[in-house]
Amino acid sequence: MAGRKSKRVRTIRRVSVGFLGANTRFSGDLVDLSKTGLLMRSSEELEPETLGRIGIEIGLDVFRSVVKVRRRVPHVGIAFQFMQMSPHDRELLHRLLLSLEGHLGK
């Protein structure tokens, strides 16, 4: 297995993630996050390569990205890869990563 392309940050506080895809909509909790994707706790079943959109509320703003399902993680949830996001959303992702990393040492 190849090494990770970017550092994953685990969450210690509840962060809700919403998913919207063709004929499906659900939400779950963020397990971990990186610059390239996220792992979401959910019992939903999605096939690898499924495309959709995710949203994460960050204060008064919402981070949004087009995502692709990478794999199902048994007993945890779904791993998504970020496929497309605006420069504004890239900045929101950076802020969220910094916020989550800041809670690691506490």
Confidence (pTM): 0.88
Give the range among 70-74, 78-82, 84-88, 102-106 with minimum mean pLDDT.
Answer: 102-106
Are the C-beta atoms of residues 49 and 89 closer than 8 Å to each other? no
Residue 80's Cβ-count burial label (10 Å; 0-12, 13-18, 19+) is: buried
For residue range 36-82, what is the model confidence (pLDDT) as tens digits?
999 999 999 999 999 999 999 988 999 999 999 999 999 999 999 99
Compute the mean pLDDT over every residue in the chain, rounded to the nearest whole number.
90
- Map out the domains of the chain with their CATH numbers: 9-100 (2.40.10.220)
